[in-house]
Amino acid sequence: MFQTGLAGQILFLLVIGFSLLIVVINQCFNRQQGPLFWSGPLFFSPLLVFAFLYLFPPGKTAETLFIAAETLLILGMAVLLIVPVNKLPARAFMLGAYAMPPVLIGLSFLPVGLRLLPQLNRVLLYANIALLILALLQSRRRLNQTSAYTLGLLFLLAAQPLALQADSALNRAAYVALHGLALGSIFLYFYQSIQNHLRQNIDDANRRLLEWEKTVKFEVLKRTIDFEHTHQRLLDISKTDGLTNCLNKNAIMEEIDKLVQGKQNFTILMADIDKFKEINDTQGHLVGDQILAQVSAVVQRSIRGVDCLGRYGGDEFIVTLPRTAIRDAFYVGERIKKNIAEQNELDVTLSIGAASYPQDGDAAVKLIEFADKGLYLSKQHGRNTISYAGELQ
């Protein structure tokens, strides 16, 4: 009926083109084990049979062979709408449907095929009508999602009775038109479904990428903060005297330089433990180290939070007193001496010298030299006192 002529050529192009597109798109882009995945290979049936008919025309059985392949396609798609694809009967039927095209082609060469194929077409046609009604009832809640799929089945089903009727130009045109609408609708459903699936995969990938970026940024920020804390601890360690836990010589010199650069009045106190050499010689250096640590702790408790304490060297300590005049520094020195005297476990005294910026020096070295002169005066005055080498205003 449709093997020659314009209608046959158009039908051949429609079946070969759309079936091939559906199979290729489904196999290349669809990885979900759902109805869409299982229905794609069904289009091998008309594709294989129609290609066979044009290569090896089997004569009288050509039309019935093609109709049988298409009705088998409709039957398989209707079954997928009714039975969940994860059920064994549905999968078994689909596997059988995949194997049917070679069986149909084999029947077309047998004498029995002349009688069997037309009867098979009628049985399949009635089965398609019944199953399609059930499929529409079963999928009524999701018709919005499967409208193109269902519409394509209806067009295919409507074309089958035309093929069983007498050959005419009107039948040919209607048959080809219904096939075009059916295959186009089904292809549109496959295309949109796979496009939505790919878009969802892209959205999921973007979401996971965003979560990964947030995680990486968080880890980088965390590592950066940890690194900064570690770096700060290392800086603190590098500025701290290991024995007394106050600033070391370089660090206390930097503090004095910062105060000088600030161009604001400040005073430094330079303290020395009296007769510390005798303590080391008579009681040992271990006792001397303990005394240094205890003196440092007492001095640290005797000054403000903005003040700094550093070990200049040996048993010499320097205290910086920002925004403090020389007279007020004497009160601080007296408080330090008093707190040292109140420590029963400490049997030591301090000699202290003072220097004030800017009148006693405009650099750290000059201020320390001037404070050292005051310290020398304290030693001359009998120790355990605070002295200033300049004139008190």
Predicted confidence (pLDDT) per residue in 97-139, tens digit: 666 667 766 766 666 655 666 666 667 666 666 666 665 665 5
What is the amino acid identity at position 97?
A
Q: Which residues, 6+ apart, have CB-to-CB distance to 107 below 8 Å? A: 61, 65, 113, 116, 117
What per-residue confidence (pLDDT) applies to 115?
66
pTM of the model: 0.47
- Among residues 247, 274, 266, the alpha carbon closest in space to that of 376 is found at 274
What is the amino acid identity at position 195?
Q
Q: Which residues, 6+ apart, have CB-to-CB distance to 206 below 8 Å? A: none
Q: Are strands 316-322 and 308-313 parallel, antiparallel or unpaired?
A: antiparallel
Could you say which architecture CATH assigns to the domain 249-388? 2-Layer Sandwich (3.30)
Q: How many CB atoms lie within 10 A of CB 254?
A: 15
pLDDT digits (tens, 9 = 90+) for 40-91: 667 767 777 777 776 666 555 566 666 677 777 776 776 666 666 566 565 6
Q: Where in the chain is the domain with CATH 3.30.70.270?
A: 249-388
Contact 337, 386 (CB under 8 A): yes
Q: Which residues, 6+ apart, have CB-to-CB distance to 318 below 8 Å? A: 252, 256, 268, 269, 270, 271, 309, 310, 312, 368, 371
Q: With a cut of 60, say whether residue 153 has pLDDT above it.
A: yes
Question: Topology of domain 5-207, per CATH?
Answer: Rhopdopsin 7-helix transmembrane proteins (1.20.1070)
